[in-house]
Amino acid sequence: MDFVSGEILLVNKPLHWTSFQAVNKIRYHIRNQTGVKKIKVGHAGTLDPLADGLLIICTGKKTKEIDSYMGLEKVYSGIITLGATTPSYDLETEIDQRYDLTGITDDLIKKTAAQMVGEQDQMPPIFSAKRVDGNRAYDMARAGKEVELKTKRITISNFEITEINLPEVHFKITCSKGTYIRSIAFDFGRLLNNGGHLSALRREAIGQFSLQNSQTVEEWVETIDKLRPINNSKD
């Protein structure tokens, strides 16, 4: 492998890791293997710490292609827990309101998912990396400040309910760049005249790149460390 000329690494990011931690770990071992201290290593789309799954990491000259990968459709699987909401729309924050699940049927759940397919305006969670007046929205939200965000046009191409075991609803979704699955979970609960939050998330695919073809961070580290060192004196 030639990390300086550029490689695309499909990484299975573990739960509770930030995308930066995964990149940083792999970058460290690539630097040791190549002897290039300033080699470029970056990811093509952040995956939250509370999510696992596919993270595309590009090295060297391949980092120039990152924007093109970020624009690809994404496929996620996960669990929406009905009957409760959280301020962050996921498990980062505590439940702030509970709802009665009486009247929520399997048929209603599936019809609601079908109703959400298509192009639409989505409101990002206030606990997001969106910038407001130069500040990250999540920093302002954690400080108790009021956060005003703008909607963004997104497309949900497919929203499949794969299992229902209330309060948990398992799903698989295909969506456009910039879609917040946490917001989908919240909106899903709202459309049911109930509450919902995201309790599990995995990124299964980015465009033609699949999680099935990925390796864990540890496996990539082992692969990189086994490569013959490249004698390159350049920084």
State the pLDDT at residue 125: 77
* Euclidean distance between CA atoms 164 and 11, whole angstroms: 29
Domain 8-71+210-226: state its class. Answer: alpha beta
State the pLDDT at residue 235: 44
State the pLDDT at residue 151: 82
pLDDT in tens, 81-126: 999 999 889 998 899 999 999 999 999 999 999 999 999 999 887 6
Three-class SS state of 71: coil
Task: Report, as ranges of residue numbers, the positions in the chain whose pLDDT lies below 50.
Answer: 232-235
Q: Tokens 């792999």 map to which residue?
A: 26
- The structure's pTM equals 0.89
Three-class SS state of 89: coil
State the pLDDT at residue 137: 64
State the pLDDT at residue 234: 47
- The CATH number corresponding to 74-206 among 3.30.2350.10, 3.60.20.10, 3.30.750.200, 3.40.50.300 equals 3.30.2350.10
Q: How many CB atoms lie within 10 A of CB 195?
A: 24
- Looking at the DSSP bridge assignments, the partners of residue 148 are none
Mind telling me the catalytic residues? Answer: 48
Fold match between domain 8-71+210-226 and domain 74-206: yes
| Domain locations in the chain as residue ranges | 8-71+210-226, 74-206
Residue 167, preceding peptide bond in cis (omega within 30° of 0): yes
Evaluate whether 201 touches 48 at the Cβ level (below 8 Å): yes
- From the list 164, 170, 166, the residue with the least C-alpha distance to 204 is 170
- From the list 79, 52, 90, 93, the residue with the least C-alpha distance to 186 is 90
* Euclidean distance between CA atoms 87 and 212, whole angstroms: 33
Query: Residue 12, Cα to own-chain centre: how many angstroms?
Result: 12
CB within 8 Å of 147: residues ≥ 6 apart? 126, 132, 137, 140, 141
